[in-house]
Amino acid sequence: MLRAALLGIALALIPACSSPVYVDATVIGTGFGAPELPSLRAGRLELDPAAGDPLRDRIVADFAVAVLNSRGIALTEDAKVELVVHGYVLENEHWVPPETRVTHSYWPMYPRRYCVDGRWITVQEPGVWVPQTWVVPGHTVREYSHRAEVVLQEPSGKVLWMGELRADGRTGDFFGVMKACMPLLFAEYPVPSGQPAERRVVLAPVE
């Protein structure tokens, strides 16, 4: 009982390590004869049909323009190609049932002294492995699917390039997801990069 109590105290004193924040992203870029553009203009921003809030569309547009600007593509009012974006988030909750886990901790034995034929000797006995059973309580997990669509098109509506981004994870940080994933999406412009469409993207390092 004493060992179990000491083990509980030791485990409580171990600092918890924060897990990395990541999303499983899928990036797809489809070109329809899209050239490298010297400039483009901001077109319409599709409103989020779920929330009716243009904030996510604006976030997508801002990061898309920033990436294009870094590649020397300017944003002008008289350009012949316009940028059309749409961003939204789908949320889902599911129940994770309780789970029983067993871990083993090694407990070394203290040296013992014995009197043999009038002489004291010290014996180091082997330690023991102590099983510890604990239950992870059931809990609800909320997951998010961040979506973004970016289209470069002519004023007539002819699509020159279409980028689609889907990033699934447990973070609701749409801003952080777009900041990390938008450069990956535009790596597929104007032609596919050859990288796998599905990849894991870490948003924050392990502390």
Work out how many domains the chain is built from and give that number.
1
C-alpha span between 35 and 27 (Å, rounded): 20
118 is a domain residue: no
122 is a domain residue: no
CATH number at residue 37: 3.30.160.670
Domain that holds residue 33: 22-96+140-202
53 is a domain residue: yes
48 is a domain residue: yes
The token pair at 158 is: 């002819």
Average pLDDT over residues 42-62: 66
- Identify whether the C-beta of residue 151 lies closer than 8 Å to the C-beta of residue 162: yes
Burial 162-200 (b: 16+ CB within 10 A, else e): bbbbbbbbebebbebbbebbbebbbebbbeeeeeeeeee
Q: What is the pTM of this model?
A: 0.69
185 is a domain residue: yes
C-alpha span between 137 and 95 (Å, rounded): 11
Q: CA torsion 168→170→175→179, rounded to 10°?
A: -60
15 is a domain residue: no
Q: Give 160-178 pLDDT, tens digit per residue.
A: 899 999 999 999 999 999 9
Q: Give 85-138 pLDDT, tens digit per residue.
A: 888 899 999 899 999 999 888 888 888 888 888 788 888 878 888 899 989 899
A 10 A CB-CB count for 31 gives 17
pLDDT band at 73 (very low <50, low <70, confident <90, very high): confident
What's the whole-number average pLDDT of the chain? 81
Give the number of C-alpha atoms closer than 13 A to the C-alpha of residue 5, restricted to the C-beta side.
2
Average pLDDT over residues 154-163: 86
Q: Give 185-204 pLDDT, tens digit per residue.
A: 999 988 888 999 999 999 86
CA distances from residue 9 to 12, 102, 108, 134, 159 in whole angstroms, order as listed: 5, 17, 17, 14, 63
